[in-house]
Amino acid sequence: MSLLLIVLLPLLGSLVPLMGSNERRNACATMTAVAPTIALGIALAYMGQVLDGDIPRAAVSWIPALGLELAMRLDGLSLLFVLLILGIGLLIILYTRFYLADGDDMPRFYAFLMLFMTSMLGIVMADNLLLLWVFWELTSLSSFLLIGYWYRQSEARKGARMALTVTGAGGLALLAGLLLIGQIVGSYDMQVVLDSRELIQQDPRYLPALLLVLLGAFTKSAQVPFQFWLPHAMAAPTPVSAFLHSATMVKAGVFLLARMHPALAGSEAWLYLVGLTGLVTLLYGAYFALLKHDLKGILAFSTVSHLGIITLLFGLDSRLAVVAGLFHIVNHACFKAALFMTAGIVDHECGTRDIRKLKGLWRFMPLTTTMAVLAGAAMAGVPLFNGFLSKEMMLAESLQTPLLGGLSWLIPALATVGSLLSVAYSLRLVRNVFFDGPARDLPRTPHEPPRLMLAPVMLLTVICVVVGLLPALTMTALLEAAASAALAGDSPELHLAIWHGVNPALLMSLTALLGGLLLYLQRRHVFAFQRQFRPRDARLLFEMGIQLGVRIAQRAIDSLENGSLQRYMLWLVIAVLCVAGSALTQTSGLQGPLENQPLDGLLIAGAIIAMFAGLATAIMHRRRLISLLMLSIVGLMTSLAFARFSAPDLALTQLAVEVVNMILLMLALFFLPQKTPQESGAPRILRDVLLAAGFGGIVASLNYAVLTRPLESISDFYLENSVPGGGGHNVVNVILVDFRGFDTLGEITVLCIAAIGIYKLLNRLRLFMPSSDADGRPWALDHHPAILGTVAQTILPLALLVSFFIFLRGHNAPGGGFIAGLITAAALLLLYIARGVDWTQQRAPIQFQPIAVAGVGVATLTGVGSFVFGQPFLTSAYGHFHIPLIGDIELATAILFDLGVYLTVVGSTLMMLANLGKMTTRHRPSKNKEQA
């Protein structure tokens, strides 16, 4: 369980800074550091176990049906990355405290940073392919937030968008690849997948899966041709660059290569794709790093180049090369984070990052200069520094590779060229900025930064030197553990040492060092050569592509979506006609095996009335009042049909809804035009009639086809269990409040939301109120007829009694909360209509919003109540009670739930109608509650 905490703590930790404030920066930074520190402690506590070859795992079931579980593992590879992420992450937190300017929102920065840290930890510890992908996408999202932290700058927004687009698209490819692998293996469990190398590589789907996974890894790790997003992500604050582009985000891609190495590596396709991509990236990045003038730009391209080295190492088909790759991941993370932070300090102190303006800073900041020199030496691969060791391993392994067959000498040769370039740009970076004569015309006079800001840089530099001097002592155990995970077995024996005697690799290193020095001195020729090319801005190309996509999409939308409901309906109906029509032609005849039941006169009369009223509603639609009256006839006939065919609950509900619905539509019609003008031409009418006839034909055929075929219902369960299980005889009501109570809870919530929506829509609504009807006749002067008023008042208590009765008996006889609620609402509405809103509000100043909300609350609480008895949500209980005088009655907790339904229906219905009714008076709902 504590394994899960390594990921969960930083996740919770992302909330911590949000509680802090921008003014108390020290407190904010300290509190933020707590969670990762504890997580690091937990990871260190597991360290001994992991180094002994054990793999601690922890899992919580999440979506078992999809094979997705919250499973974490901590093997050597994960441990290596967890230490990097948390260790460098903590240093970044410290550095950020001094880096951010007063105007920057510190809590927001830390929250994003912790979110990002969580997602990185999730990637490296995931023990399930799908889970790994979820965290992978989370890094894309959280890095988008971090890169776009200064969201007021166009550069930052564009850089963030580009990074998200490229890595997000790669993430989708990765998902497809992982799904393919999961299908081949039949499991998403990491261990099962890693053990299925033979199975995966012999499957014909191996190649597409490999391509897709590599696409994900290469976009994330900025390999050519996807490298262009990384330099533009430099618009981020420097701590972000130091974290994302040294130790974490871009390392996720190479981590994936290492993680999937046991399952995917070893084939020809892997070697060529990974090896050659790495080689090209290595050269491309190194060359452009030499040409850039922006400090962070140099570092960005150098990162691209070093990621190329690591990728190349994973593609060399040698076990030792994989170890070298892992080693270089650590080394690069250390010196690159240090250099990024140094670049941030220089920028902070001098106000510029342009290498052409910076000069001779060593006079002002000797300590920073020392750090930069040491870290730069590590980056260049100077002996006695950690970068030298892994680079030499890389050169040694490149000599052994079988890649390219007879041309295999190309690989070590080009690798040496790459190293040579990296020596040259490291020299340029360090010498031009910190030495090269006295400084002139700096925007600001630099000083040493605060000690605590420099501390992270110092720590990382010390690590570079110590690892460089004592490699075997510091790194062997960790690397062996990591390598045994990446190689699915025992790690090759490691002999990390500074001196291996004079061998080809050493000679290549020396060539690179001397050649790099020479190239640096003659660099003006390179610059002159490069000037012959027209510079291509990747961002412009990218933006053009995006804009083109947007334009095409916009045009497509404009041509389809013109705001006409009629057109949308048209397409929808045509789709229905095509799909349902073609499906119906596949069935074996319209008439099923069942015979028609006999007809009787009442049925025929009812059906004819319903059909004529339906047709009349449509035909007379331009005279709205008549159309509405016809509609109410259909409603009544529907209710009768329910009563005829053994559905008393439905009949009652339909009848009550019909009353409320008619009041609503009449009220609405009062504010709307009374007549619809003739607008559609004959062709349009013909088209709509044909469509409607086709639709009606399909509905009727489908209905008839179903009705004449035998029915296999799942309802026997409900019929059998209603009394013993639900304690009610009315099965419909028991289904509503017990078996499917959760659905009902959802439905009354929707009802309540609709009512609240209406309440808000009516807020400050100014409506035109006609003073006469459509034919110019004035409204009656007697607004509230006395007879109606008296009747309504008399009926009210009676109706309330009836609704109470119907509510109580609902569980055992037709009735229940829905119907009782509607009856109560109808009775109250009658009073509103008869006596007017003023009169009613004075006598019964009831707010309906709280009633509706309380209804949903009661229903929910009833459900929650079953937790108290250790039962699942909404389990009902019932029992028989003997009450003197009344006798034996049966009570179920479901009646409480039904009470919630009742309250919601009453509250919502009156919230809708009473508020609409108020529009006819001076009591219009407004921000200040009605003051009647």
Partner 1 sequence: MEALYAMTTGILAASGLFLALRGRTFPVVVGLTLLSYAVNLFLFSMGGLQAGAAAVIDDSGNYTDPLPQALVLTAIVIGFAMTAFSVILAMRARADLGSDHVNGNRVDESREERS
**768-827 residues near partner 1, rule: CB under 8 A:** 768, 770, 774, 812-814, 818, 822
Instruction: Encode burial over 533-568: b for 16+ CB neighbours within 10 A, e otherwise.
Output: eeeeeebeebeeeeeeeeeeeeeeeeeeeeeeeeee
Neighbouring C-alpha atoms within 13 Å toward the C-beta of 594: 11
Q: Which span sits near partner 1 by CB under 8 A: 158-166, 471-479, 641-649, 866-874?
A: 641-649
Q: Which two tokens stand for residue 238?
A: 């420097």
Q: Shortest gap between Cβ of 637 and partner 1 (angstroms)?
A: 8
> Interhelix angle for 741-762 vs 894-918, to 10°?
20
Positions in 726-755 near partner 1 (CB under 8 A): 729-732, 735-736, 740, 743-744, 747, 750-751, 754-755
Q: Which is nearer to partner 1, 492 or 694 (CB)?
A: 694
Instruction: Decide: is 766 part of the binding site for partner 1 (CB under 8 A).
Output: yes
75 and 129 in contact (C-beta within 8 Å)?
A: no
Q: Is there binding between residue 629 and partner 1 (CB under 8 A)?
A: no
Contact between 673 and partner 1 by CB under 8 A: the answer reads: yes
- Which DSSP symbol is given to 874? T
Is 646 a binder of partner 1 (CB under 8 A)? Answer: yes
Shortest separation between residue 649's beta carbon and partner 1, angstroms: 6
Asked if 418 and 305 count as a contact pair (C-beta separation under 8 A), the reply is: yes
Q: Between 136 and 642, whose beta carbon lies closer to partner 1?
A: 642
Nearest to 392 by CA among 336, 465, 468: 468
- Site membership for partner 1, residue 478 (CB under 8 A): no
Q: Which of 34, 518, 618, 791 binds partner 1 (CB under 8 A)?
A: 618
User: According to CB under 8 A, which residues from 391 to 410 bind partner 1?
Assistant: none
The span of 87-95, 544-552, 760-768, 921-929 binding partner 1 (CB under 8 A) equals: 760-768
Closer by beta carbon to partner 1, 152 or else 777: 777
Tokens encoding 748: 């009354």
Q: Residue count at the site for partner 1 (CB under 8 A)?
A: 116
- For partner 1, the binding residue among 151, 645, 742, 881 (CB under 8 A) is 645
Choose between 505 and 916: whose C-beta lies nearer to partner 1.
Answer: 916
Instruction: Compare residues 68 and 664 and give the one whose CB is closer to partner 1.
Output: 664
Q: Which residues have CB under 8 Å from 396's CB, separation 6+?
A: 503, 504, 505
CA distance 458 to 469: 16
Amino acid at 155: E
Q: Which of 564, 585, 586, 588 binds partner 1 (CB under 8 A)?
A: 564
Check binding of 635 to partner 1 (CB under 8 A).
yes
Rounded to an integer, what distance in angstroms lies between the CA atom of residue 910 and that of residue 594?
46
Task: Report the distance separating Cα 550 and Cα 547, nearest Å.
Answer: 5
- Taking residues 692 to 711 in sequence order and writing x for each that binds partner 1 by CB under 8 A, - otherwise, the string is xx-xxx-xxxxxx-xxx--x
Amino acid (one-letter) located at 700: A
The H or E element that residue 788 is part of is helix 786-809
Coil/strand/helix, residue 829: helix
Calculate the CA 169 to chain-centre distance.
14
Instruction: Report helix angle 206-220 to 249-264, nearest 10.
Output: 160
The answer to whether residues 266 and 201 touch, using CB atoms and an 8 Å cutoff, is yes
Answer for the pair 346, 433: CB distance below 8 angstroms, yes or no. yes
CA 553 from chain center: how many Å? 23
User: Is the CB of 360 or the CB of 592 nearer to partner 1?
Assistant: 592
Considering only 689, 791, 798, 889, the residue that binds partner 1 (CB under 8 A) is: 689
User: In a 3-state reduction of DSSP, which class is residue 783?
Assistant: coil
Question: In this complex, which beta carbon is closest to partner 1, that of residue 122 or of residue 821?
Answer: 821
* CA–CA separation, 78 and 266 (whole Å): 22
Q: Which C-beta is closer to partner 1: that of 151 or that of 779?
A: 779
Secondary structure of residue 503 in the 3-state scheme: coil
Q: Which residues pair with 70 in a beta bridge?
A: 60
Q: What residues between 189 and 208 interact with partner 1 by CB under 8 A?
A: none
User: In angstroms, what is the minimal distance from the CB of 927 to partner 1?
Assistant: 16
Using CB under 8 A, pick the residue from 219, 491, 654, 803 that binds partner 1: 654
| Beta bridge partner(s), residue 189 | 128
Give me the least distance between CB of 713 and partner 1, in Å please: 5
Task: Retrieve residue 218's tokens.
Answer: 């290469």
What the block records as the tokens of 49 is: 């176990």
Please identify which residue in 38, 626, 647, 896 interacts with partner 1, judged by CB under 8 A. 647
Whole-number minimum distance, CB 874 to partner 1, in Å? 15
Task: Give 597 or 928: the residue with its C-beta nearer to partner 1.
Answer: 597
Is residue 634 part of the contact set for partner 1 (CB under 8 A)? yes
Of 645 and 867, which has the nearer Cβ to partner 1?
645
Q: Which of 23, 52, 198, 679 binds partner 1 (CB under 8 A)?
A: 679
In the complex, the smallest distance separating the C-beta of residue 743 from partner 1, rounded to whole angstroms, is: 7
Binding segment for partner 1 among 8-16, 258-266, 623-631, 875-883 (CB under 8 A)?
A: 623-631
| Residue closer to partner 1, measured from CB, 16 or 874 | 874
Contacts of 869 (CB under 8 A, 6+ apart): 875, 877
The H-assigned helical ranges of 594-623 are: 601-619
Residue of 665, 846, 854, 896 that binds partner 1 (CB under 8 A): 665
Contacts of 166 (CB under 8 A, 6+ apart): 219, 226, 228, 229
Residues 885 to 924: which contact partner 1 by CB under 8 A?
905, 908, 912, 916
Judge contact between 10 and 118, C-beta under 8 A.
yes
Choose between 224 and 657: whose C-beta lies nearer to partner 1. Answer: 657
**Range 832-891, binding partner 1 (CB under 8 A):** none
The H-assigned helical ranges of 126-153 are 129-147
Coil, strand or helix at 284: helix
Residue with tokens 């997948």: 193
Tell me: does residue 657 bind partner 1 (CB under 8 A). Answer: yes
Contact string (CB under 8 A) for partner 1, positions 571-610, x = contact? --x--------------------x-xxxx---xx--x--x
Locate 154 and state its tokens: 């166009």
Query: Which range, of 204-212, 524-532, 565-573, 830-838, touches partner 1 by CB under 8 A?
Result: 565-573
Task: Give least dist CB 153 to partner 1, A.
Answer: 37
Q: 484 or 653, CB closer to partner 1?
A: 653
Part in contact with partner 1 (CB under 8 A); list of ranges 17-25, 67-75, 339-347, 562-570 = 562-570
Near partner 1 in 264-293, by CB under 8 A:
none
CA dist 468 and 847 (Å) reads 76
Does 436 contact partner 1 by CB under 8 A? no
Give Cα 365 distance to the centre of its chain. 45
Residue 569 lies near partner 1 (rule: CB under 8 A): yes
Nearer to partner 1, 565 or 885 (CB): 565
Residues of span 40-99 touching partner 1 by CB under 8 A: none
Element (H, E) at 58: strand 57-63
* Closest distance of CB 561 from partner 1, Å: 9
Q: How far is the CB of 716 from partner 1 (least distance, A)?
A: 9
Residue type, 198: E
Give the burial class of 758: count Cβ atoms within 10 A of its Cβ; 0-12 exposed, 13-18 middle, 19 or more buried: middle
In the complex, minimum distance from the CB of residue 801 to partner 1, in angstroms, rounded to a whole number: 22
Q: Which of 171, 170, 172, 196 is nearest to 183 (CA)?
A: 196
Count CB-CB contacts under 10 A for residue 854: 17
